[in-house]
Structure 1
Amino acid sequence: MAELPSSDDRFRVPVIDVSHWATSSAAERTALATAVDEAARTVGFLQITGHGIPDRVADDLATAMDTFFSLPPEEKRALCAPPDVNRGYTPPKAEKLSLSLGVSSPEDLFEAFNVGVDGTAHPSSALPTAYFPANRWPAPHLTPGFREAVESWFAHAGGLARLLTRIFAHALGLDEDFFRPCTDRSVDVLRMNNYALPDGETHVERDRMGMGAHTDYGIVTVLWADRVPGLQILGPEGRWHDVLPEEGALLVNLGDALARWTNDRWRSTLHRVLPPTDADGRLIRRRSAAYFHDGNHDAVISPLPGCVPRNTEPLYPPIAIGEHISAKLAGSRALRPNEDATRESARLLTATDTADR
């Protein structure tokens, strides 16, 4: 069911099998929820197996990403959106993820393509376009099958994310449907990443990040990634650790919303991606796709029952999920430092910039 970190000093991301959650006995559910709670308190990352997403869906996504990212730069740039619209294409060196924490760094190397819940496609739902803007799909003749493959992955990853919120609620001693009213109109986004250099550049500059250090903004992230080194997460002792997903596993990490809801009982863990390079400093292929299940834009995050010790103040003031996400995106995409991330930025600024290689 679950493989927890060993008791020695090695840092490991727990592997948790969720395949039998729906049919498990009460005792089995309690054991799995306990393992999730342990991982959420100590690591903030999990490796999920038994997720039920067919291999072909992941294979089709990878093929679709390769097709899109191999397009000529002018075709991709035609799909760029303004910084406040979290859709479309982002070229290399256009974002600084660390500014979502208010910490400046050189521009990140990744290029990305974002899609999400499209409020304009559901006029009867009255979803505000500020949080649910229209998607910008590439022309079908340039990327045959791209939209179908991406939408299939979006649906499967979203199903897993919603299952995880039920498991999370159980692990926190809440009703399994506790998060449903906060997620029935969730601001969900899929960000497909490719690590690339701008045209004309052949080697990675010193101190350049593939993706700068950050925490994720919402409730939970479901990550598909190549088994290529680069991803690092910050351990509770303040040191960076390399992480590779197990074969067939999806990496899952908690976002700021859960950290704030639990008053930091659960961790929204800092992570980053080093540029994947060969021995000569040339960038090698690394792809990932992060499904962000962020919650309703108007859901207010305030501490859950029992998460604030008696006679103490909460670590964070109440905030609407949409407001929090907007401040984070203004940092990473619009390059306006986020001033509401002092606890997260303090962890980054005191981190030891070495890893356990």
Structure 2
Amino acid sequence: MANTGIPIVDFEKYGLHVTDAGSVHCEVLKDTARGICDAFSSVGFVYLINHGIEQSKINGMFQTSKDFFSQPMEVKKSCARNKSIGNHGWVGLEVEKLNPDRQAGDLKESFNFTPSEEGSWPSDIFRSTFFSFFSECRQLTMRVLDVLSIGLKLEDKNFLSECHSLIGRKGCPTTLRSLYYPPLSECAKPGQVRCGEHSDYGTVTLLFQDGIGGLEVMNTDDVYVPAQPVPGAVLVNIGDLMQRWTADKLRATKHRVMIPEAELKKRQSRQSLAFFVHPNDEVIVKCLDGSDKYEPISSIDYLNYRFSVTY
């Protein structure tokens, strides 16, 4: 277990290095599934090690993204997100406010990408790097969902992965997002943070952090604690739709990125890569235990609602 109270689970038995996933029997994955579900039902987060995405590919995404965010404003604006037609593109400082109760926007930039949406790109290398990394994240996501189905004791191990079958295609809003938190040269506005307190919208999120740290996760005592980067691990967490789907058995935990207190860290930039996973648009999320604790809702209707209060 990491020193934050977030468990570490070894994904070696089903990571991307396992070339024939179909040959892996459910019995082999039961311990892995139990560890992941235990983490998601308590803190809502888990560090996965031996997940199979090569570190060189993660490093390449970080570097390509940083090169873009370091470009002049005119270059970034040419790739800006047009929310009236989709989610693709660059989002500037203070445009988002993930905690609507905070008066000021978040001190971060981002670039959103899903393969089914058209949009502008700053370069061919940037585009190809995003496409390649999206594919890696999609493959890992499908395996995480299979193991999660086992942990939830669903009759069909493929149930969750089938509900996400359109990832990367039209009809599924799953998004790869590169996030950049620039150095802070001036005083922040009252109550302003790098990323406001929130839970994610979808089913699961894969998060890759740089070595700077700064992410805080609410623990089981409702206290925010640091979620320090674990070398070689991907941090996976539950989103709101999965909490609804499991009638609160799994927990969509609030998290945030605050402004560092130390002056040295204020002058450092920070990066992360988030793969926000959503079911296919038309999937109706209904409590799996039949309790009707939450009203059934389509994946796309819930996402549109959350976007409406974020921007």
SS in structure 1 opposite 2:256? strand
Partner of 2:135: 155
Matched, 1:204 2:188: yes
Question: Aligned partners of 1:46 and 1:211: how far apart in 2?
Answer: 20
8 Å CA contact retained: 1:224, 1:251: yes
Q: Which amino acid aligns with 1:269?
A: T
Equivalent runs, 1:211-230 vs 2, <5 Å? 211-230=195-214
Partner of 1:184: 165
Matched, 1:115 2:108: no
Displacement of 1:181 in angstroms is 3.2
Partner of 2:169: none
Matched, 1:74 2:91: no
Question: Aligned partners of 1:204 and 1:281: how far apart in 2?
Answer: 14
Q: Which amino acid aligns with 1:16?
A: V
Equivalent runs, 1:234-273 vs 2, <5 Å? 234-273=218-257
Matched, 1:293 2:293: no
Partner of 2:180: 194
Question: Aligned partners of 2:26 and 2:265: how far apart in 1?
Answer: 52
- The alignment of Structure 1 onto Structure 2 pairs a total of residues equal to 297
Partner of 1:166: 146
8 Å CA contact retained: 1:81, 1:89: yes
Displacement of 1:239 in angstroms is 0.8
TM-score (norm 1): 0.78
Matched, 1:97 2:98: yes
1:187–1:236 CA distance, 2 compared to 1 (3 A)? same
Question: Aligned partners of 1:98 and 1:332: how far apart in 2?
Answer: 8
SS in structure 1 opposite 2:278? strand
8 Å CA contact retained: 1:300, 1:318: yes
Question: Aligned partners of 1:74 and 1:276: how far apart in 2?
Answer: 29
Question: Aligned partners of 2:265 and 2:59: how far apart in 1?
Answer: 28
8 Å CA contact retained: 2:6, 2:43: yes
1:279–1:29 CA distance, 2 compared to 1 (3 A)? same
SS in structure 2 opposite 1:180? helix
Please list every run of 5 or more consecutive structure 2 residues that lacks an aligned counterpart in the other structure: 15-20, 167-171
SS in structure 1 opposite 2:173? strand
Q: Which amino acid aligns with 1:17?
A: D
Question: Aligned partners of 1:91 and 1:277: how far apart in 2?
Answer: 23
Q: Deviations over 1:14-70 (max 9, x none)?
A: 111112134666554221111111101101111011111112111111110111001
Displacement of 1:203 in angstroms is 3.7
Partner of 2:52: 52
Partner of 1:327: 305
Question: Aligned partners of 2:226 and 2:103: how far apart in 1?
Answer: 21
Q: Which amino acid aligns with 1:253?
A: N
Question: Aligned partners of 1:138 and 1:176: how far apart in 2?
Answer: 40
Displacement of 1:278 in angstroms is 4.0
8 Å CA contact retained: 1:278, 1:284: no
Partner of 1:342: none
TM-score (norm 2): 0.89
1:139–1:162 CA distance, 2 compared to 1 (3 A)? same
8 Å CA contact retained: 1:212, 1:273: yes
8 Å CA contact retained: 1:114, 1:189: yes
Displacement of 1:305 in angstroms is 2.8
Displacement of 1:285 in angstroms is 1.2
1:66–1:280 CA distance, 2 compared to 1 (3 A)? closer
